[in-house]
Structure 1
Amino acid sequence: MTIALPPAMQQVVDRLLAFLAQDGCTDAQFDALAADLFAFQYANDEPYRRFCQRRGITPRRVAGWRDIPPVPISAFKDATLSCIAPAECERVFMTSGTTRGDVKGRNHHPTIAVWDLSMRSNFERHFMAGRARLPMFTLFPDESELQNSSLGRYLTLARRTFGTEGSRAYVSVAGGLEVDALCAALAQAQARGEPVAVLGASFSFVHLLDAMETRGLRFALPAGSRLLDTGGYKGQARALPLDAFYDALALGFGVPRDQCINMYGMTELSSQFYDAGNAVVPSVKVAPHWVRTRVLDPLTGAEMPAGQRGVLVHCDLANFNSATTILTEDVGVAVDGGFLLLGRAEGAEAKGCSLAVQEFLQAAQG
């Protein structure tokens, strides 16, 4: 369902689409658009405006993206962060609700066009490696089954845009993982010498590897084949250390570890981060030109020096309707070219994130 946008929002969308389509940007260009988007959200997103006012931040005090108050990611579970009424949005993505039961975070998208362009441009650069299309087998239900899943949209859009004929999902809500059908498709690709891409949630790969081991199966997929995993193991019965996980992928599929790409994303953002393979872990995550990342001490808000761990803050200009700047609950280290993702916040870091959530809720509720 495509909905006509208010004129002011349509202008924002048009400007963003052009910005995402251009080949990079200067820091000054990024700061200018970040400041303008902040002013738009400040004017139209009431819970966020109250939070900023509590911190004494107004559009006049924001010269660039580092000045924008980051919204704690858990706030998406407790407040409606949107510049227009949710009913007027083309798509609403919801989190899985694994950390607080049935309480789901929501990210509202007045038009899906910005999210889609962000996904396609970034995916083409960091995963396709110069190929126009590949046979794509995905380990997650199609978006037609999970309308509110950003991962469902992501994988369906990948198949639709970059997959060859015969690409499809091998997981469904009703039937689960179609192990035998997928293994048959992989065997056919191996016999033909045709490179393939297998993409899915990390825990789905673990289930698939277990099923392959039970069947005594290993593959030697043709050169040029690539794997993409995402999402970790939240709420799953079995987890593997990262090195063991990528060793198992390389052994099970015959794909070198430097062709095993991890995508780091979240429902609350509109863009994704990629690495250049996992020959070494942790691997450096990089962002497109419309995203910037800082590493903060969540207790003080101070930016950590390069090489010191802190909580990740992402400024994603494609997240134009809710909040561009998000305080995550993920720990990382800033390095040349991007950041290392180290895991979830614990101890003092987690306490700092919780205090930030409390501050947001107190401000948003007036």
Structure 2
Amino acid sequence: MANFGVDTIFNIQNRKEFESLALKTFKFQYEHNTIYQTFCNHLNRSPKNVKGIIEIPFLPIQFFKSKQIVTATESPEIIFESSGTTGSSTSKHYVLDLNIYEKSYLKGFQHFYGPIEDYCILALLPSYLERQGSSLIYMADDMIKKSKHPASGFYLNNLKELKTTIEKLERSGTKTLLIGVSFALLDLIEQYRFTLKHAIIMETGGMKGRRKEIIRNELHTILKKGFGVNMIHSEYGMTELLSQAYSKGDGVFQCPPWMSVFTRDTENPLEILGVEKTGGINVIDLANINSCSFIATQDLGKTYKDDSFEVLGRFDHSDIRGCNLMAI
């Protein structure tokens, strides 16, 4: 384990503390993650010559498809696996300590929304429920249990029951979080219309092959009208990360204190861009202490001065341009 306690990660108070801990994490993972060390050596980067966080190498996310990305030799408590189209390879995240994941999503949610016990949690995640190994299902299931509300639960194809539950919660003035995959939320409002004042509607993105992909603004406009709300919230997470960023509207995301997003040049993946410039999204997630905290994703986006960010789409090709020359 790293030479700092896990609680240190979740008690970061400011940017200076984040950057200091990120550099310590880089040193730890360079020394204990052989895949990451080989990758860093390939780029001539090591704790000896990395002095700031933008100099830290970001591991291309597709390494999670072909390598076991871990910083220790213990057996994992759980293996989270991404969804994949037929015949495609999937990412696997070998999680050595589920307690870290649980702390991350619970403290992250509380940071933005307050205590989980204040909410009734309704999860409309059919594409995730239909397969094994989803980190989102693990998180939603635990949040449902910790909410302790009798109406909290998963909904698969029982949309009529979900409609009845939402309306009952609305009449009683109960704070409600409906978290759902985009196509399922659209399915719901095509059958039923709502006018909600006490509910947060949170989309997790993706049509999962069930519907034609549409741009976020169009999706949110349709959902706002269907649910009768002013804003659609969003969750940004993935199998390879143990933390989530949240948007309270307009697709602008904020990270919890132990997570940060940068953008990289699409032609030169080692170059970190300034704010308001479109590039590939790089994530530092310090909760990934036992795998790799420095991930170059396949998403395109831009960052802003207040450390918020937007997700603008995905790279056209499955391999991020420029990463082939960094392959091990």
How high is the TM-score relative to the length of structure 2?
0.90
Match among 353, 362, 366 for residue 320 of structure 2: 353
Q: How does 1:124-135 map to 2 (within 5 A)?
A: 124-128=110-114, 132-135=117-120
Residue 261 (1) aligns with residue 233 (2): yes
> Corresponding residue for 1:319?
288
Rounded to whole Å, the distance in 1 between the matches of 2:59 and 2:43 is: 12
> Corresponding residue for 1:24?
13
Match among 188, 199, 202 for residue 225 of structure 1: 199
Rounded to whole Å, the distance in 2 between the matches of 1:64 and 1:180 is: 53
Rounded to whole Å, the distance in 2 between the matches of 1:164 and 1:69 is: 44
Distance 1:16 1:66, change over 3 A: farther
Rounded to whole Å, the distance in 2 between the matches of 1:345 and 1:247 is: 24
Conserved? CA contact 1:143–1:153, under 8 Å: no
Rounded to whole Å, the distance in 2 between the matches of 1:235 and 1:68 is: 36
Shift of 1:206: 1.9
Shift of 1:351: 8.9
Give the residue type in structure 1 aligned to 2:218: A
Shift of 1:253: 2.0
1:216-237 CA-to-partner distances (Å, cap 9, x unmatched) read: x31223x231111113224232
Shift of 1:294: 1.4
- Which stretches in structure 1 are left out of the alignment for 5+ residues? 1-8, 172-176
Distance 1:153 1:75, change over 3 A: same
Shift of 1:250: 2.2
Distance 1:114 1:142, change over 3 A: farther
Rounded to whole Å, the distance in 2 between the matches of 1:351 and 1:134 is: 38
Rounded to whole Å, the distance in 1 between the matches of 2:178 and 2:148 is: 11
Distance 1:61 1:163, change over 3 A: farther
Rounded to whole Å, the distance in 2 between the matches of 1:143 and 1:202 is: 12
Conserved? CA contact 1:62–1:68, under 8 Å: yes
Rounded to whole Å, the distance in 2 between the matches of 1:41 and 1:303 is: 21
Rounded to whole Å, the distance in 1 between the matches of 2:319 and 2:84 is: 21
Conserved? CA contact 1:143–1:156, under 8 Å: no
Match among 236, 260, 264 for residue 292 of structure 1: 260
Match among 222, 238, 245 for residue 219 of structure 2: 245
Rounded to whole Å, the distance in 1 between the matches of 2:238 and 2:217 is: 23
Distance 1:23 1:142, change over 3 A: farther
Rounded to whole Å, the distance in 2 between the matches of 1:189 and 1:313 is: 39
Secondary structure of the residue aligned to 1:59 is coil
Conserved? CA contact 2:23–2:52, under 8 Å: yes
Residue 89 (1) aligns with residue 76 (2): yes
Conserved? CA contact 2:280–2:296, under 8 Å: yes
Secondary structure of the residue aligned to 1:61 is coil
Residue 275 (1) aligns with residue 241 (2): no
> Corresponding residue for 1:3?
none
Rounded to whole Å, the distance in 1 between the matches of 2:242 and 2:135 is: 9
Distance 1:23 1:320, change over 3 A: closer
Conserved? CA contact 1:119–1:154, under 8 Å: yes
What is the number of residues matched between the two proteins?
Answer: 326
- Which stretches in structure 2 are left out of the alignment for 5+ residues? none
Distance 1:333 1:78, change over 3 A: same
Q: How does 1:92-241 map to 2 (within 5 A)?
A: 92-98=79-85, 101-128=87-114, 132-140=117-125, 148-162=133-147, 164-171=149-156, 177-210=157-190, 212=191, 217-221=192-196, 223-241=197-215
**Bigger Rg, structure 1 or 2:** 1
Select between 57-66 and 149-158 the one with higher mean Cα deviation. 57-66
Give the residue type in structure 2 aligned to 1:54: H
1:19-49 CA-to-partner distances (Å, cap 9, x unmatched) read: 30x252342x223222222222222221211
Rounded to whole Å, the distance in 2 between the matches of 1:49 and 1:144 is: 36
Cα RMSD of the aligned pairs, angstroms, is: 2.5
> Corresponding residue for 2:62?
74
Conserved? CA contact 1:146–1:152, under 8 Å: no
Residue 310 (1) aligns with residue 298 (2): no
Conserved? CA contact 1:330–1:343, under 8 Å: yes
Secondary structure of the residue aligned to 1:37 is helix
Q: Quick one: percent identity of the two aligned structures?
A: 26
> Corresponding residue for 1:52?
40
> Corresponding residue for 1:329?
298
Give the residue type in structure 1 aligned to 2:263: V
Conserved? CA contact 1:137–1:170, under 8 Å: yes
Rounded to whole Å, the distance in 1 between the matches of 2:325 and 2:271 is: 17
Shift of 1:127: 3.4
Conserved? CA contact 2:69–2:291, under 8 Å: yes
Give the residue type in structure 1 aligned to 2:205: G
> Corresponding residue for 1:174?
none
Shift of 1:132: 4.1
Rounded to whole Å, the distance in 1 between the matches of 2:19 and 2:216 is: 36
Rounded to whole Å, the distance in 1 between the matches of 2:84 and 2:258 is: 28
